[in-house]
Amino acid sequence: MIGKLGKNKILVGIALMLFLIAVPITLNQVRQTQEQRSGAAGEAIAILLNPLTKNVTVGEVFLVPVSINTAQNNVTAVDITFSFDANLLAACTQDTNCPALFTPSPTFSQILLTTTPAGTIHYVGVNPTSNVLTGPSVSIGTLAFQAKAAGTATVGFTNIHVNASEVATALPVNYDLTLAGTYTISSTGELSPTPTPFVHDDKVLYDFNDDGKVDEVDLNIMYTSFRSREGD
């Protein structure tokens, strides 16, 4: 009996030692996995403008929806500075004819929106929920511009900073997909003058004897001319 108890104690002791050795190893592996995950660069994202090209006229208001291809990342915040040619485009202000210069989508909660310096729109938004935010075309918002002069206007980016959960640094940007928009603005031009319609004055046309009236005398003259031949 005593021999069996001794063996059991030895087995329990060995199991306890193995457990004490295994726990630190397991915890270390978990920590390394977390560090590797948090230190990962993440997949390259892309900011998309739609449309990338458009023909407009001076004075016309046009919209440019903005979205993000998250490339499998769970995006938590976006910080984007848009640039545009202030000589050709005016960022809209909210009134009856032109919507706000940038209308964020409900997907993100606006933290910052400024238009300083001129020709830029700086927007910062965060995911206000704990829901996973990923997809090939997640709406960020809509830009609104008014064409102010003829020319070719470009809308691009001077800064893109996107964060995602479990990624320690800003996500890389895929610049093969993140393209600037080019918008051709033409003047309205002058309207062509309305041509003056030709009006027949029958009185003048059939007054063959120029006496100011069309009567039987004129009819006889016309009748005679139909019956005559060249040289008569």
Q: What is the pLDDT of residue 176?
A: 96
Beta pairing partners, 163: 77
* CATH of the domain spanning 46-186: 2.60.40.680
- The pLDDT value given to residue 142: 94
- The token pair that represents 93 in the structure block: 């202000």
Three-class secondary structure of residue 4 per DSSP: helix
pLDDT value at position 163? 96
Contact criterion met (CB below 8 Å) for 115 and 100: no
CA–CA gap between residue 147 and residue 197 (Å, rounded): 37
Identity of residue 77: A
- CB contact set of 96 (below 8 Å; sequence gap of 6+): none
What is the pLDDT tens value at each position of the chain, 232 positions in all?
Answer: 445 545 555 655 555 554 445 445 444 543 544 444 444 568 999 999 999 999 999 989 999 999 999 999 999 999 999 999 999 998 776 555 677 788 899 999 999 999 889 999 999 999 988 889 999 999 999 999 999 999 999 999 999 999 999 899 999 999 999 999 999 999 974 333 444 444 444 555 555 567 766 666 655 665 565 445 555 5
pTM over 0.85: no
Number of Cβ within 10 Å of residue 94's Cβ equals 10
What pLDDT is attached to residue 38?
43
DSSP symbol at 111? E
Query: How many helices (H) and strands (E) are present in the chain, helices listed first?
Result: 3, 11
Cβ–Cβ contacts within 10 Å for residue 21, how many?
A: 10
Residue 192 has what pLDDT? 36
- The pLDDT, as a whole number, for residue 10 is 60
- List phi, psi (to 5°) of 71: 55, 50
Q: Quickly list H helices, 92-215.
A: 202-205
pLDDT, residue 190, reads 36
CB 72 within 8 A of CB 43: yes
pLDDT of res. 111: 93
Three-class secondary structure of residue 48 per DSSP: strand
Q: What is the pLDDT of residue 211?
A: 72
Give residues with Cβ within 8 angstroms of 207, minimum separation 6: 213, 214, 218
